[in-house]
Structure 1
Amino acid sequence: MPGQVAGTRDRRDSRWDEHRRERREQLVQATLTAVSKHGAGVGMDEIAAEAGTSKTVVYRHFADRAELYVAVCTRVAAQLLPKLRDAMDSGGSPRGMVAAAIDTYLTFIEGDPELYRFVVDQQTLDRPTTDPLTSLSDLVGAQVAAAITVALQQAGADPSPAAPWGHGVVGMVRAAADWWLRADRPMPRSALAAHLTDLAWAGLSGVVSTKEDK
């Protein structure tokens, strides 16, 4: 029957789509492992070897290195963003929220600096692509801005500056973190986190702090 043939084909297509999705996830995980072993400049041969396959098979699932790079960065962002949200949610006071978010971001970098370098360095790509960390920074900036908005509203102040302040704080932290890593971490993570928290809070405290924060 035509309907039965179509239904069988649909099920086969669905199974094949699931297989491709699973295989892509396996290749992303193999890339993460290869980066840990070989560093941010890992080659496609090393990634394929880690996956137990060949470059030809990798390119069946990813059009080029840039597409694989985006998939890896998307995985990293999906892992980091919930941690940042949890940190901000558990921070308590506005200052505590800022401190917790900054320390969480720096902890991620310190925990796997080669993976961070892989994410932020696109020099080895076949073509330029959008930096997924920029999208992540936008999401985090929006989260910080939302928290600042609440604090401003509670203080009876105009909440309109919350967006530029939130995104500005995130941009400052990312720039400082990039320098810290390039400079081979010249100070402990805790010290850097404290310095950045002090700097960020110096600008925010006049309008969003409570007596407990000062």
Structure 2
Amino acid sequence: MRRSSQDKPVDDLDVQGNVAHARDRRDSRWDDHRRERREQLVQATLEAIGRHGAGVGMEEIAAAAGTSKTVVYRHFADRSDLYVAVCNRVAAQLLPKLRSAIEASTGDPRTMVAAAIDTYLAFIEADPELYRFVVHSQALGRPATDPVDTLSDLVAQQVAAAIGVALQQAGRDASAAEPWGHGVVGLVRSAADWWLRAERPMLRSELAAHLTDLAWAGLAGVVPPQEAQ
């Protein structure tokens, strides 16, 4: 034990504990700052994509953020790290919309599938360059574990939930819902790619109706007639 300037005993352990606590608080504040700055840079990336398209480069992203590439790389390990963060932002925006659309479909299986397809297409139509950036862009590099695959899996899970309702109502084994969900996502994604390449030759509502008809034709084969509406 040592004494303070007022000759009062001070426990070294207390001093060390206070110092450690102060350091933890500072580190916590820096963690919050880093998270906030990363979110700002992701938002700047979205704005840069809106201005320059899916082929946007790191210099354009840095300019949109009002900073330099060096600063961007302080907050993201590499280009792939930024790409993953953008994909996570897209997932955070898209998945709640899918859930809400499915839940608002009053439990009718066909309407659920139609709502999920239309919501996915509406998301693409609202920002086609962002869709191209996430799904197809090589400009920022792609990590070994592609987050697009994860996003597709998450979307497929939402669709599978809707299909599972149809199978359960039909008294069928709902284990088929998972592969069906992935199949529907593959169907819609491929058709959406064509739709964008062809410069949207039909209305989104028309494309959604065509894809719903095709997807439901397969599902209706395992659902009794009264359920296949």
Give the aligned partner of residue 39 of structure 2: 25
Task: Give the secondary structure class of the aligned counterpart of 1:160.
Answer: helix
Q: Deviations over 1:180-206 (max 9, x none)?
A: 112211211111101000000111113
Cα deviation digits, residues 47-75 of structure 1 (max 9, x gap) = 11111111110010012211111101110
User: 1:154-176 CA deviation, whole Å, 9 max, x = no partner?
Assistant: 22222232221121111111111
Note if 1:46 corresponds to 2:55: no
Q: Does 1:99 align with 2:118?
A: no
**How far apart, CA to CA, are the structure 2 residues paired with 1:54 and 1:200?**
47
Is contact 2:109–2:165 with CA below 8 Å preserved after alignment? no
Match of residue 97 from structure 2: 83
1-structure distance, mates of 2:196, 2:224: 31
2:45–2:64 contact (8 Å) kept in structure 1: yes
1:133 to 148, 151, 174: 148
Q: Output aligned runs, 1:1-214, within 5 Å.
A: 1-92=15-106, 93-126=108-141, 128-208=143-223, 211=226, 213-214=228-229
Judge which range, 181-190 or 12-21, deviates more.
Answer: 181-190
Give the partner amino acid of 1:5.
V
| CA distance in structure 1 between the aligned counterparts of 2:142 and 2:95, rounded to whole angstroms | 26
Q: Which moved more, 1:66-75 or 1:145-154?
A: 145-154
**Cα distance in 1, alignment partners of residues 197 and 129 from structure 2:** 11
- With normalisation by structure 1, the TM-score equals 0.93
Stretch deviating more after TM superposition (146-155 or 1-10): 146-155
The structure carrying a bigger helix percent of its residues is 1
Q: Which runs of 5+ in 2 are unaligned?
A: 1-14
In structure 1, list runs of 5 or more residues that go unmatched: none
Indicate how the Cα distance of structure 1 residues 81 and 191 shifts in structure 2: closer, same or farther if over 3 A, else same: same
Identity %: 76
CA distance in 1, matches of 2:213, 2:31: 50
* Distance of aligned partners of 1:35 and 1:209 in 2 relative to their CA distance in 1, 3 Å threshold: farther
Q: Aligned-pair RMSD on alpha carbons?
A: 1.6
What is the number of equivalent residue pairs in this alignment?
214
> Does the 8 Å contact 2:121/2:208 carry over to 1?
yes
Shift in CA distance, 129/46, structure 1 to aligned 2, threshold 3 Å: same
Contact kept in structure 1, 2:49 and 2:56, CA below 8 Å: yes
Distance 1:143 1:127, change over 3 A: closer
Moved more, 40-49 or 153-162: 153-162
Counterpart-to-counterpart distance in 1, 2:146 and 2:197:
18
